[in-house]
Structure 1
């Protein structure tokens, strides 16, 4: 594999690893928000109108920004009916072919994410809840997460092609 592809794979993997390891702590922030809301509601009879929506935004950020790291770790769910019986080279070829479908899917998601983010920024879109937070921040995070997933998918594609050719690209 050319040096530029090796550098790309190294850079994208390192970046997504850092982002993923930072983002995994959002679970604790979400737990803290929900615990605070629960204590506020039961102990002080003061329900918080923002707690559920904040925890939803945190959870969405968690899985959108952590998706690329999960892909890097091969932690996504995979149908393993035939896959485990194939040789490493066959797996690499099939993975390289099927990842093209992922590119199409992520490309469509990215187009929608950019359009939705642009709309939210231009018109100051807000949630239709009583708290009514602006939706632009979560849409920016969503679009950034899709970009990270696209970058990691391309890195994985290069690794699969290298494996299919008998090289190691780690």
Structure 2
């Protein structure tokens, strides 16, 4: 494989590994928010912000951790025949199916960017009592889609290298 592709794979894998490892702690953020929600409902006046904050934290946790899940191969795969295939056949199948993932992520990114721009232009807010602005979480979603796209391309390059009998 050309050196710039090998460099691309290494850089993207390193970035997504670090972000994914950091996002693992997002679970504790969600737990803290929900714990505060329980405490405030029991002993104080219920907080308006806790439910939506937990939802936003969960979105960031899943979306920003998605690229790391792709990197680890932790995404869902129907393994009816796959486990018995050779490495070469798996690489062919993965290289073919990742093209669908790239298309899907491209569509999600396009819609996410459009929605984020709309949200910024019209100062879109949630319809709840707390009424937070929605553009920050939409921007986080777009960043996550970009990271997943970059990781999907990295996985495609690794599959092509596997088919060529090379390391990437």
**Distance apart, 1:43 and its partner CA:** 2.2
Q: Spell out the pairing of 1:133-144 with structure 2 (5 A cutoff).
A: 133-144=132-143
Unaligned runs of 5+ residues in structure 1 are none
Partner Cα distance (2:97, 2:34) in 1: 39
Instruction: Specify the alignment match of 2:165 in structure 1.
Output: 166
Partner Cα distance (1:96, 1:104) in 2: 13
* TM-score in terms of structure 1 length: 0.97
Q: Aligned-residue CA RMSD in angstroms?
A: 0.7
1:57 aligns with 2:56: yes
Partner Cα distance (2:160, 2:2) in 1: 12
Unaligned runs of 5+ residues in structure 2 are none
Report Cα offsets for 1:126-154 as digits up to 9, x if no partner. Answer: 00111110000000000000000000000
4+ runs of 1 displaced by more than 3 Å? none
Secondary structure in 1 matching 2:125: coil
Secondary structure in 1 matching 2:89: helix
Partner Cα distance (1:154, 1:95) in 2: 12
